Each structure stands twice: as structure tokens, then as C-alpha cells.
A and B are shown apart, each in its own frame.
Chain A
Amino acid sequence: MNVHVLRSFYLFTAGFVALVGMLIYWQVYSRESLANNPNNGLQTRRSVEAPRGLIFAGDGETVLARSEGRETSGGTVYDRIYPEGEAFSNVVGYWSIRYGASGIEIAQNSNLSGVSSDPATLDELINQFRGGRQPGSNVTLTLDPELQRIAYDSLGQTVTGRGSAMAIDPKTGEILALVTYPSYEPNDIDDNFPELIEDPAAPLLNRATQSLYPPGSTFKLITSSAALKAGVEPSDEFFDPGFLDFPGFRVTNYQGKDYGELTFAEALAFSVNVIFAKIAIQEVGPQLLYETARDFGYGDPYDDFPLPVTSSDLGYTVEQWVDGNTAQIAFGQDRVSSNVFEMSLVTATVANNGVMMEPRLVREVRSPDGIIIDRPAPSIRRRSLDAGTAGTLNEMMQGVITTGQLTAAEVPGVQVAGKTGTAEDPPREPHSWFVSFAPADDPEIAVAVMVENGGEISPEGDADTPAIPIAQDMMEAYLKRDAR
């Protein structure tokens, strides 16, 4: 009988081993997919039962989001508070039990959320063994709170009250400001969400990264890069008769001017469309223009960026272009579409000797007890231009301010490089664009500002340029504080 007793025991043992196998299957193999299953309400329950981590601005002091405990009959429940409100909500996002989450709140959720994350430090592991409520890790962003507020308030005071701005450190890729207007109050999201989603002004939309607009003449930075690569010198002379005819339409200059004989550098300074159309067709050609735009990140996905980014686009594949397209693409019209996210990267790339740094919003992640969990180092995203070409373009952009007499963009004691844009958006008023960086010889900040339909045409035919003073304010505030 003993043999059969033993055989049965082996059978039972196999059963017990299978149970452990089942546990491994659920707890290790399928763990993640089950945690993310829409029928699984445990994560949401957890999110209110443990405090989420703090979100700090780049100064490491300004709190952008914190969790506050509230006693209920079922124990302590944590509410999410956003002390800085609307100016930061397009980046920080919201955390709603009812409506989900957005921004950094969702992008950094695995760090911010409490017990659900796997322990990253020994203390957390011990705490988890002890079964304590484990607060989430703290996330410090790169945003400069002063710049963010300046840009937000200034955009709010523009005529249309719709626009976006971004400032970036060209050398590190740290985003100093990322602003959209109008924005929303994140503290009352549970009550206001249904209204916000219906609002025609689209406050939930991040205009800086998600919307696309014609970049207008700011795109001439890319056309100029292509021209320099094609061998055009800044001193090369071109003739502007004031128009250029194509089948069905005519390219003219801003305000219908004709400049006559001009150098390439002067053509950029005065933003002469006719000469840029000529250069694009005769010197550059569609292929090189297309490739240069790609080199600057047109068409790039930004899947690793914490916020959703819509890729900028030329509107056509290069094979579809005819000369008429090339002419208009050369000054950022036709179907070219972009946003301040992309255009500030283009500007920063010129500023940083042609090297595009990976744009970053998160500076570091620390556990509640201060241990660094993540601190991404600056990294190169693309090498868009060689240093010589970038240097030449830098000088030409300084000429935009000096030769073009853009006094509104000047920062006392500092050489600024920039480019304006007045992008047609018929039948509405044109968009007002401005991209710039400073100091030109050792750039610390690159800015792109766009005011939606802000380029109101005055009776004299001059378009308003509300984007310039906003960019100037941001640069001045940043550089002045730096000097202190």
C-alpha cells in the first residue's frame, strides 16, 4: 500500500507546485496587464488612499501639485491640490478619479503614485513590508515659474487671448516655460470637466504642443539653413522685383513692398518673400528644403516626451511638390504647419551650434525621503546643422534685430537673435509669431511665441506683432535674474 500512498502524495505535491505556478502567473507574468485592466478598480482606490508625490517647478520650491489628507468615515482620503492653478495646468495636468488624468500627473504616474509602484529604495521596500501607506515620489520639473507666469499673463492680455509660448535652454534642452492660453482651473476639474470639454475656446487643448498653425516667416530659418547648405552666402545679392508669378497666383512681399537689389542676409532681415521663393526654387530645390526641415524635426514623433506632441508637417511629400509649392513653403505658408514646441526647438538648435538637444520637462524624481530615483542627463536628439552654418545663421538672425530695427525685441546689454513671422490665416487676422534666442554669442534661452490671429492689420497696413514683446519680456526676465 505504501507505494500507492507515496504516489498519491506525489500527485498532491504536483498540485501544490501547480498552485505556486498559478501564483507566479498572476503575480509576476500577468501583473501589469491586470493592473491596467479597465475593470480593475484597485489602482483608483489606492490613488485616493495614499498621498501622491509632489510636483515642483524648476526652482525646487514652488509647489505645483500636492496631496492633502481629509478624514472620512472610511479612513484618510487624499485630494489633489494645485496651488499655482491655471498657468501650469497644461503641463502639470489634472488627476481626477472620475475623468482620468493628464499631463505630468499621468506621464509620471508610476513615480507619483503611492503604494502601487514597485519599491525603488530600501526604505520603501521596508515600508512596504511594514505595510505602511507609502507616499509617492516627488517630481521636479524644469519649468521656471517666473517665466511661465510672465508668458501666461502676457498671452492673456493679447487681443484674441489665444496663444502659446515655449522657452528652452538651448544647451541642455530643459524647457523653461511651456504655456498655452486659455487654460483651465485644475482644482475644480471634477466639477468643471463637462463644461471644459464643451468650451469652444478649447482650454483643455495644449496649443503649444498639440495644435498646428502655419509658421509663416519663422520657417525662413529652415529655408535659410537649406540655402546656406546649398552654398548661398549671406552677402550674395538677389533682385526683388516685388512679385514672382506662378500659374494661378503671385508671390508678393509683406505690405506689397519691392526691395530691389538685396543681399541674402538683408532678405532675411526684411523677410522678403519673393527672394526666399526664388532662392528655394533656384538654389535649394524641393529635396534639400524637405530634408532640412526633416533635420530640424519636422515629422518627428515625440513619443518619449511626457506631453502629447503633434508632429509639425510640410503638408506634402517631396514628390508632390511643384515650384508653386516650393515657393510658398519657403516662407512657411501653403500647408506647412507647426507650433511653438517645434519652432522653439528649431531656434534653440541654431543657437546651440546646430545641435538639437532632447527637450525635457522632468529634471529629477526623488523618493519621499530624498533619494534620487531618476535624473535624466542632457542628451543630443539630432545634429541638424554643422557648427559653421549654424554660426552664419546666428549672425543673420542678429541682423534681423539690428538691420531690421526690431527695437521691441532688444534686451539691454545683450545681443538678441530672432525672426518674426506673420502667418496668413484667411479669412481671420494673421497669426503673430516670434522666435529668438539670447545672448547671441552664448545663448542661454531660446523662445518661441505665437499669438493666434494676433497680427491685426492697422489702417496703415502694418500688422501688429504682439508676440515680440512677450518673447522680449521672457528673455529679459531670465537673463536679468541670471546676471544677479
Chain B
Amino acid sequence: MTQRATVPMILALLVTTMGFATLIFVQEAASPPLIYGAYYAGTLFVLYLGVRLLLPHSDVLLLPIVTMLTGIGLVMIFRLTYEIEGFQSLATTQAVWILVGSGAMLFVVIFFRNYTRLFNYKYLLVIAAFGLILLTFSPLGYEVNGARLWVDLGPVNFQPSEFARIALTIFFAGYLADKREVMAATSRAFMGIQIPAIKYFGPVALVWAGSLGLLIFEKDLGSSLLFFAVPLLMLYVATGRIAYVILGSLLFAFGALFTYLLFDHVQVRVESWLDPWEDPNNTGFQILQSIFNIADGGLIGTGLGAGFSQTIPEVHTDFIFSTIASELGLVGGTAVILAFLIFTYRGTKIALLAGDDGSKLLAFGLTAMFALQTLVIIGGVTKAIPLTGITLPFVSYGGSSVVGSFILAGLLLVISERSGRREAGKPLTGRAR
């Protein structure tokens, strides 16, 4: 019995349509080429139908949520840029990236249905991930706003870390699935905390520290945080030992202090978080503009197109949530947060239902990455935590981020298909498709 979620899918597309209609008819925005809207709606609906057809037992709600989030992102990017000289094409560019992301997801769905094979190549994936990150230090890499995260590949520029972290999550899932029992069983105590054997823990620590180190030198604080926390949580789930979390948190505290003392840009971030009023027109400017705009929204928002969030630097990427909260208010902002929570919930459910350890850890790792990324950036723009430059999955402008998020969702879909089939009594057999 194939599950369907056609109604949520249509609702998600309607939300997007309504957003554009509001901007075009009420705000008198110049209409973007309608053909892009058609592409967008068509692409996601075909993607939905394709996934239902190819993976009839996969999770039904993931794609409607993805559709809604990308749609809201598209509306907001259009709203923020349609009247800004030189940026008018940003929304159409984003629509193209969504198309590319959908293609990537379809690719995953078709060719990686037997994703467990990826675990066999886990060391290769680590090398690929490191290679990707190292690319930014090659002549192809370049800096934006003081962080060296970009690679110029002729026609396209991309942020390798968006893809590297998916590769590393697969590595950790594969490795921990193999070694989790020996790692959990080892007992050597140090100051009351049980220390795992270096032999098994070594590769994990090495990959972990290596990727983290590279990212810190890239000055990519947001990604560093994810690269740190996601493996830690996976380790916790794999071994069931809270000791890892405690140890990790201590390491984090030291690491944070270390980076704070060592790097100016970290100090600036922390200080502008603690007291943005100190220098409201310079270091505190971005976060204060974000807060002013969020507060301006109030309960139900200023109305789509009526806010002033263009005063926030980088609003269409990292700060896109400030626009949502400003123009759609507490009601709209909470709704979007709930959409992220539902995605996290479906991801968690996929992890819970997954049959084997590798699948479970992979689904959990991807979900944790998604959830933490959301928490870190929304927490950052609402001044709950210091700001770290990172995108809001599916919503923010940015090709690498959109494509990466689609791949993440695609992997969750194939994992859910496997457990869905098992429950339906039609398990995938062996390595055959």
C-alpha cells in the first residue's frame, strides 16, 4: 500500500503561490518570469510523483516540507531582491538551484537505493571530503567576508563544506556501525570517566580533529560547530555512553576558549553577541538590525513586503529567518520553526525504524546535522547564541546549500524506503536492486 501526501504537497505549493501573488499584486512587485514559477512548481511536483513511484515505501512528509521551505525561501529571496539594482536575478538563480537540487535528489533516489554500499567506501569518502575542503586552500579557493569557504570551478562557485559534511556523516555512520560494540565495551577509566581504546577511537578522533582543524583555519565557524557536534552525537547514539558527550563538551569548552583567544574574528563575534550596543553601527550593526526587524514584526508581522529587513547585511543568506519573523511575525516565524521541527521529527522516525545500525546512524547523523544547522543559524539571528555564518537549510539563498540539503533529504528518503519495504514484507535483497 503506497502512502500519499498529495494534499500537503499541494498546500505547500499553494503557500508559495500565495506569497508570490501577495508580492506581485499588493506590493506591486515586478513579476518574475512566470516560467520560473512553473518550473519550480512543476519540478517539485514531478519530483514528488517520481519519488512516490520509485520509493513507494519512503517517508511521505519529507518532500512536502522541503517544498514548503524552498518555496518560502524563494518568496523571501524574491521579496528581498526584486527592487534592488543588480540583484533582481537572485530569485531565478535560486529557482535554478532548486532544479539542480531536485536533480541531485533524484540521482540519489535512483542510484543510491542500496546506499549501504557507500559504507564500504567510507575511507574513500573521508579522502574526498578532505580533498573538497582542501580545495579552498588551492588557487581555486577564495574568501568571502573573511572566510575562505568558496571554490571557483569556472561556471559555478561552490562551498565544498556543504558536501564534505554529508560525506563525513556517511563515514562516521559506517565506521561506528562496525565498531560500536567494541567501542562501547572498552573500559579504561580516567578520573572516573571511561576512556575508549585508542585503537578503535583513533580513526574517529583523527577524522574529527582533522576536518575541524581545516574548517577553523577556513574561519568557517558555523560548519566547524556542525562538524564537531554531529559526530559527537553519533558517537553517543552508537555507544550509548554519555561519557563521550561529557568529554566532547569539555573539549568544546577548551576549543572554544582556544579559538576565542587565538582568532580576532571569533572575539568580534562573541563580543557583538554579548554586547552589540557597544558598537551599534559597526560590529553590532548586523545583529541589532536583525533584532530590530524581528521585533518590528510583532505578533502577526508587518505583512509580506512591508518590512525593512533589507537593512540587515547578508539578509538573503544567513539572515533570511529575520525577514520571515519580521514580515510574517511570531505566527509565521513559529510556523516555519515548526516545519523544521517536523522535518527533524520525520528524520528521527526514519532513524528509529531503520533496520541496521549503519542506516540508523546515518539517518540520525543527517537529521542531527539538519536540526543543529537550523538551531545554530536561527539561534544566531535571534541572538540566543553567538552568530556563526551558516545557511538556513532549503530556505537561504545559495546553490551549494540547496543542493546539499536536497542530497541530505534524498538519503533520508532511501533509508526510509528500505525500512518501509521491510515492514511491508518486501525487503530489498542483498546487493541487487
Contacts and interface: CB of A to CB of B under 8 A. Distances in A.
Interface of A: 1-6, 8-9, 12-13, 15-16, 18-20, 22-24, 26-28, 30-31, 34-35, 37, 39-42, 45-46, 75, 115, 118, 125, 127-133
14 contacts: A1-B360, A5-B348, A6-B352, A15-B379, A16-B344, A19-B382, A22-B382, A26-B325, A31-B295, A31-B296, A39-B288, A75-B83, A128-B300, A131-B22
Interface stretch (B98-106, B143-151, B198-206, B305-313): B305-313
A40 B292 contact: yes
A42 B300 contact: no
Interface stretch (B4-12, B88-96, B230-238): B230-238
B348 A130 contact: no
Given A5-B351, A45-B308, A132-B306, A34 B291 contact: yes
B276 to A, nearest CB: 9
B69 to A, nearest CB: 14
A19 B321 CA distance: 11
Q: Which of A118, A127, A132 has the most CB of B within 10 A?
A: A132
Given A20-B334, A23-B333, A131-B303, A42 B27 contact: no
Given A16-B375, A20-B337, A4 B83 contact: no
Nearest to B360: A1
Contacts of B379: 15, 18-19, 22
B368 interface: yes
B295 A30 contact: yes
B306 A16 contact: no
A21 B79 CA distance: 26
Given A1-B238, A13-B341, A131 B352 contact: no
Secondary structure of the A side of the interface? helix
Contacts of B338: 16
Contacts of A118: 298
Contacts of A39: 277, 280-281, 288, 292
Q: 6 closest A-B pairs (Cβ-Cβ)?
A: A131-B303, A34-B295, A22-B382, A12-B371, A9-B348, A4-B237
A118 B300 CA distance: 10
B368 A27 contact: no
Contacts of A22: 379, 382-384
Given A41-B311, A131-B26, A132-B303, A26 B348 contact: no
A123 to B, nearest CB: 13
Nearest to A16: B341
Contacts of A8: 233, 236-237, 348, 364, 368
B334 A23 contact: yes
A5 B360 contact: yes
Contact of A35 (B83, B295, B357, B361): B295
A3 B241 CA distance: 12
Nearest to B378: A19
Nearest to B325: A23
Given A5-B360, A23-B333, A30-B295, A129 B303 contact: yes
B76 to A, nearest CB: 13
Given A1-B240, A1-B360, A41-B311, A26 B344 contact: no
Given A20-B337, A130-B22, A131-B22, A27 B294 contact: yes
Contacts of B378: 19
Given A16-B340, A131-B304, A27 B325 contact: yes
Nearest to A125: B300
A5 B238 CA distance: 9
B154 to A, nearest CB: 36
Contacts of A13: 341, 344
Interface of B: 22-23, 26-27, 83, 233, 236-238, 240, 277, 280-281, 288, 291-306, 308, 311, 325, 327, 329-330, 333-334, 337-338, 340-341, 344-345, 348, 351-352, 357, 360-361, 364, 368, 371-372, 374-375, 378-379, 382-384
A9 B337 CA distance: 15
B300 A6 contact: no
Nearest to A20: B334
A115 B304 CA distance: 12
Contacts of A75: 83
A36 to B, nearest CB: 10
A19 B384 contact: yes
A13 B341 CA distance: 7
A230 B423 CA distance: 101
Q: Which of B237, B288, B357, B379 has the most CB of A within 10 A?
A: B237
A37 B284 CA distance: 14
A45 B297 CA distance: 15
A27 B375 contact: no
Given A1-B360, A9-B344, A23-B325, A128 B303 contact: yes
B266 to A, nearest CB: 22
A131 B25 CA distance: 10
Contacts of A1: 237-238, 240, 357, 360-361
Given A12-B371, A13-B341, 11 more contacts: A5-B352, A9-B344, A23-B325, A23-B334, A27-B299, A35-B295, A39-B281, A42-B292, A42-B293, A45-B311, A115-B306
Nearest to B284: A39
A131 B302 contact: yes
Contacts of B311: 41-42, 45
A1 B237 CA distance: 6
Nearest to B344: A12
B330 A28 contact: yes
